[in-house]
């Protein structure tokens, strides 16, 4: 039996089967584009609160945020994130950034873990402890504040009051620093700015009740069984693709394929409960497909491109991406000279090649501008590997 980490407590409270001693081995976890976007914004926040220089383009690349439009959005959000956390740094408090914490369920004690050598380094974990790494927190004389930066649309549908992960960090810090209260806050970051209105105050009774819930959770993992529900995919279960509940769902589809009509048209939804059940199982099957696709990608990366029919291949190709560095000397002057008043309409911190193309009358004009920008170093080129399909020559 393995106690869930802090980031999986929200899942474990609804279904602890993945952490039970009879659960199968987890497959390799994958991360969505939204998760990569959020990871990159967290890196921006951490550097800003430490007073370090922030390079939004670099953080986007490191977090594997791809696509011109998505990188441009990343830069716009990062600008506000950096400003908010730089201002927060001026507060007279002790800031904690990327701190690994451990809480012993039976003893009710908490501690800082040894400084990690790499992200999520939990080799210092001891038996009976739940561990996790908080992103950002502030320690004051009589209260601790735990902040969590949220960048996804789905996060706005949840409340910080329901976050077991943040309550865990609050409990740990309160026990370590001997304070009776904690405040947990979601910071929602969008292109419109940062909304920090989702805040909950936890008193000593609240923290004690959560500690009791952690104890009950740990005690119940020994006999945990699969409990299918929206949490299977909504809480990112690490083994949803191989869970017995998913296997049953796949078996049902296999059986349905023997019918004279396809499964999608054979199905007759009877009521709202049945409809909700269908949606849950479809989400589980989709997660299973994602796991299978990941295996395919891993094989192709190791063994090379494959023929997929119709003269097409699927595999890894090296591609090149150019980004505009509008802060480069002479960059603005080139655009102003070539585009006139249109230049001021497109020049922002996140100006892209597509912005320049849109402002040009012809493709040739855009290419001429790009050549001039390259000459002064205002177009930065980066190569990256991409899994894609292409026509076989």
Find the angle CA(277)-CA(283)-CA(285) to the nearest 5 degrees.
105
- Helix H, strand E, coil C: the string for 293-337 is HHHHHHHHHHHCCEEEECCEEEEEEEEEEEEECCCCCCHHHHHHH
pLDDT for position 229: 83
Q: Do residues 17 and 6 lie in contact, with contact meaning Cβ atoms separated by under 8 Å?
A: no
CA 55 to chain centre: 19
Domains and CATH numbers, the chain: 6-223 (3.90.320), 244-298 (no CATH), 314-391 (no CATH)
As to burial, measured by CB atoms within 10 angstroms (0-12 exposed, 13-18 middle, 19+ buried), residue 154 is exposed
* Separation between Cα atoms, residue 13 and residue 213, nearest integer Å: 9
pLDDT for position 265: 43
Residue appearing with tokens 């920090």: 196
pTM more than 0.85: no
Residue appearing with tokens 């054979």: 266
pLDDT for position 189: 87
* Separation between Cα atoms, residue 204 and residue 245, nearest integer Å: 39
Instruction: Give, in order, the Cα–Cα distances in Å from 48 to each of 60, 90, 174, 326, 364.
Output: 15, 11, 25, 22, 41
| Sequential pLDDT tens for the chain (393 residues) | 579 999 999 999 999 999 999 898 888 776 778 888 998 999 999 899 888 999 999 999 999 998 888 898 899 899 889 988 888 888 888 899 889 999 999 999 999 999 888 877 899 999 999 999 998 999 999 999 999 988 876 566 678 999 999 999 999 999 999 999 999 999 988 877 788 778 999 999 999 999 999 999 999 999 999 988 878 887 888 888 888 888 777 776 666 555 443 444 456 777 888 788 778 778 878 888 888 888 898 999 999 999 887 778 899 888 788 889 988 889 999 999 999 999 988 888 778 888 898 888 887 898 999 999 999 999 988 887 888 888 777
* Separation between Cα atoms, residue 357 and residue 68, nearest integer Å: 13
Instruction: Give, in order, the Cα–Cα distances in Å from 59 to each of 36, 47, 186, 237, 314.
Output: 10, 10, 22, 27, 28
pLDDT for position 263: 43
């Amino acid at each position: 039996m393995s106690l869930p980490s802090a980031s999986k407590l929200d899942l474990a409270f609804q279904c602890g089967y993945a952490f039970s001693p009879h659960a199968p081995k987890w497959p390799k976890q994958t991360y969505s584009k939204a998760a990569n976007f959020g990871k990159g914004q967290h890196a921006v926040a951490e550097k800003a609160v430490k007073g370090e220089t922030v390079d939004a383009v670099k953080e986007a690349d490191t977090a594997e945020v791809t696509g011109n439009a998505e990188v441009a959005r990343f830069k716009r959000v990062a600008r506000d994130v950096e400003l908010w956390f730089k201002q927060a740094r001026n507060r007279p408090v002790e800031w904690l950034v990327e701190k690994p914490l451990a809480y012993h369920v039976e003893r009710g004690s908490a501690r800082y873990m040894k400084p990690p050598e790499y992200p999520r380094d939990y080799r210092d974990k001891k038996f009976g402890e739940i561990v996790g790494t908080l992103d950002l927190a502030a320690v004051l004389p009589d209260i601790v504040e735990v902040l969590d930066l949220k960048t996804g649309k789905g996060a706005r549908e949840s409340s910080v009051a329901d976050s077991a992960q943040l309550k865990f960090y609050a409990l740990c810090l309160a026990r370590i620093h001997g304070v009776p209260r904690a405040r947990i806050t979601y910071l929602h970051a969008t292109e419109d700015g940062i909304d920090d209105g989702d805040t909950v105050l936890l008193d000593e009774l609240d923290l004690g009740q959560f500690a009791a819930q952690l104890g009950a959770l740990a005690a119940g993992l020994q006999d945990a069984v699969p409990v299918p529900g929206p949490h299977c995919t909504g809480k990112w279960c690490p083994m949803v693709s191989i869970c017995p509940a998913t296997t049953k769902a796949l078996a049902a589809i296999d059986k349905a394929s023997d019918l004279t009509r396809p499964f999608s048209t054979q199905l007759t939804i009877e009521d709202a409960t049945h409809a909700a059940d269908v949606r849950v199982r479809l989400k589980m099957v989709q997660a299973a497909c994602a796991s299978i696709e990941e295996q395919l990608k891993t094989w192709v990366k190791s063994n090379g491109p494959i023929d997929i029919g119709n003269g097409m291949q699927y595999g890894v190709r090296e591609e090149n991406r150019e980004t505009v560095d509008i802060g480069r000397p002479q960059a603005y002057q080139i655009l102003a000279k070539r585009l006139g008043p249109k230049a001021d309409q497109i020049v922002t911190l996140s100006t892209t090649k597509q912005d320049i193309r849109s402002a040009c009358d012809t493709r040739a004009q855009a290419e001429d501008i790009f050549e001039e920008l390259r000459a002064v170093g205002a177009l930065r080129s980066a190569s990256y590997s991409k899994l894609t399909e292409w026509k076989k020559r």
